[in-house]
C-alpha cells in the first residue's frame, strides 16, 4: 500500500520547463523532491553529493540524458553522458573514477546505433581515465520512449582538504569562466533538421576534470566551481547568488560568445546567457588568487579563452545583475520557461 502522509498537491502538470534547469526545475526540487527526501546532503544543492565512507571521501552524482538528436556536431548522447557526469564530479573537486551506464531503449531502435553510442561512451571514458563498471538495459514499447535515454552515475574520490560549495562565495570574489558560452545549445538546435537552421558551431562537450585539477593545483582559494549546462550561465550564477546570499555582477563585454552563436541567438530570439554549455565551467575565486587561477586555466587546452567576467558583491544579495555593453545595468533572472528543451 502507498501511504500519502500529506494531501496531494493541486492537479498541476509537468511542463517541459520543469526539465530546463531553470526556475521551474528549482520549484520542482523545492516543492516535491526536497520535502520527500529530506536529505541534508541533497539539500546542499551542489552538483554532487559528498560522502564519507570509512577513511574515503567520495563524490557521487547522477544524470539522465534525453538529448535530441542523439548525434550532433561535436558529440552524441554517449560522449555527453560520460563527460556530463565526469564534469559534475569534477565541479566538486573530485577525481572521477567509476561510472554506471543505464539505457532505456525504444523498441525498434537500431542495434547498430546503440553500438555506436556504446563505443562513443567507451572512447570518452577511456580518454578521461574512468571505467564504466556496471550497467542496465530496459526496453519500452514503440511510442513510449524516444530512441534511447542514457543515465550515467559517477563516483569520484575527493581529497580531504577540498571544500567547494556555492555557499562559500564572498563579496569581492572574482568570477572566472573557462571559455565561450552557448556552443552546445546552438549546435543541438542546428542539428534539429526541422528548424531548417544551420550554424557552424560544434558542441563544446568535453571532460573538465584535468582543467579542474590544474586550477586546484594553482590555488587553494577557489570557493566553488559549476558547469553551466541546462539553463546556461544565468541559471548557474543565480544558483550561486542564492546559495551564497551574495550578489553577482556580470560584465557583458567580458563574457566570451562566438560570433556564430551570437548570430544564431539573434536569429532565434535567444539570449546566450541562457543557452546550455557542456564543456565550460564557472569558478568563484578569492580576488588575490584570481590572476593565478586564470593563468592556469588559460594554459589548459580547454581553458584557452578563459576570462574574468564579473565579481561577487554585497549589493542585491541573491540576485545576478549585468553591466551591459550600453553602460546600463539589468537583472539577469533564472530561466523561467523551456527555451531549449532536451539539450542534454
Q: Interior CA angle at 26 toward 24 and 31, to 5°?
A: 90
Least distance between a second copy and beta carbon 34 (Å) = 9
Least distance between a second copy and beta carbon 256 (Å) = 24
Candidates 30, 69, 133, 170: give the one binding a second copy (CB under 8 A): 133
Any idea which residue has 545595468 for its cell?
A: 329
How many CA atoms lie within 13 Å of 327's alpha carbon, on the beta-carbon side? 0
Contact characters 86-115, a second copy, x per CB under 8 A = -----------xx-xxxxxxxxxxxxxxxx
313 exposed, middle or buried (CB, 10 Å; 0-12, 13-18, 19+)?
middle
3 state SS of 27: helix
Q: Which helix (H) or strand (E) holds 82?
A: helix 77-90
Total count of residues recorded for the chain: 344
Cβ distance to a second copy smaller for residue 5 or 327: 5
Candidates 22, 23, 58, 211: give the one binding a second copy (CB under 8 A): 58
Contact characters 60-79, a second copy, x per CB under 8 A = xxxxxxx----x--x-x---
Backbone angles phi, psi at 198, to 5 degrees: -130, 145
Closest by CA to 126, choosing from 157, 83, 87, 166, is 83
Contact characters 152-191, a second copy, x per CB under 8 A = -x-x-x----------------------------------
How many CA atoms lie within 13 Å of 308's alpha carbon, on the beta-carbon side? 18
Candidates 55, 161, 193, 194: give the one binding a second copy (CB under 8 A): 55
Determine if residue 318 is left, alpha or beta; phi over 0 gives left, psi from -120 to 50 gives alpha, anything else beta.
Answer: left
Q: Name the segment binding a second copy (CB under 8 A); options: 19-27, 263-271, 278-286, 326-334.
A: 19-27
Cβ distance to a second copy smaller for residue 155 or 216: 155
Candidates 13, 160, 325, 331: give the one binding a second copy (CB under 8 A): 13
309 binds a second copy (CB under 8 A): no
Closest by CA to 104, choosing from 73, 145, 143, is 145
267 binds a second copy (CB under 8 A): no
Least distance between a second copy and beta carbon 77 (Å) = 11
Amino acid at each position: 500500500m502507498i501511504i500519502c502522509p500529506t494531501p496531494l498537491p493541486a492537479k498541476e502538470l509537468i511542463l517541459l520547463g520543469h526539465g530546463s534547469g531553470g526556475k521551474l526545475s528549482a520549484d520542482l526540487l523545492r516543492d516535491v523532491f526536497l520535502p520527500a527526501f529530506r536529505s541534508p546532503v541533497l539539500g546542499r544543492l551542489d552538483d554532487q553529493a559528498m560522502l564519507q565512507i570509512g577513511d574515503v571521501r567520495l563524490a557521487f552524482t547522477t544524470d539522465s540524458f534525453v538529448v535530441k538528436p542523439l548525434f550532433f556536431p561535436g558529440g552524441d548522447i554517449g560522449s555527453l553522458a560520460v563527460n556530463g557526469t565526469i564534469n559534475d564530479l569534477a565541479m566538486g573537486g573530485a577525481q572521477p573514477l567509476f561510472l554506471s551506464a543505464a539505457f532505456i531503449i525504444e523498441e525498434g531502435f537500431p542495434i547498430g546505433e546503440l553500438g555506436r553510442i556504446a563505443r562513443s561512451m567507451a572512447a570518452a571514458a577511456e580518454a578521461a581515465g574512468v571505467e564504466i563498471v556496471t550497467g542496465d538495459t530496459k526496453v519500452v514499447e514503440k511510442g513510449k520512449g524516444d530512441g534511447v535515454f542514457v543515465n550515467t552515475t559517477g563516483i569520484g574520490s575527493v581529497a580531504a582538504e577540498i571544500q567547494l560549495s556555492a555557499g562559500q562565495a564572498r563579496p569581492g570574489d572574482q568570477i572566472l569562466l573557462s571559455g565561450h558560452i552557448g556552443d552546445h545549445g546552438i549546435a543541438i538546435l542546428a542539428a534539429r533538421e526541422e528548424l531548417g537552421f544551420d550554424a557552424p558551431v560544434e558542441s563544446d562537450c568535453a571532460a573538465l576534470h584535468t582543467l579542474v585539477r590544474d586550477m586546484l593545483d594553482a590555488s587553494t582559494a577557489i570557493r566553488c566551481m559549476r558547469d553551466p549546462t541546462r539553463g546556461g550561465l544565468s541559471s548557474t550564477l543565480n544558483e550561486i547568488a542564492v546559495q551564497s546570499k551574495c550578489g553577482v555582477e556580470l560584465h557583458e563585454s567580458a563574457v566570451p560568445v562566438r560570433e556564430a552563436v551570437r548570430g544564431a541567438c539573434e536569429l532565434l530570439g535567444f539570449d546566450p546567457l541562457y543557452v546550455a554549455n557542456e564543456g565550460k565551467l564557472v569558478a568563484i575565486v578569492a580576488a588575490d588568487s584570481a590572476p593565478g587561477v586564470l593563468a592556469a586555466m588559460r594554459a589548459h587546452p580547454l581553458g584557452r579563452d578563459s576570462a574574468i567576467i564579473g565579481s561577487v558583491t554585497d549589493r542585491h544579495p541573491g540576485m545576478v545583475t549585468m553591466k551591459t555593453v550600453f553602460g546600463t545595468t539589468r537583472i539577469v533572472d533564472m530561466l523561467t520557461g523551456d527555451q531549449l528543451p532536451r539539450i542534454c
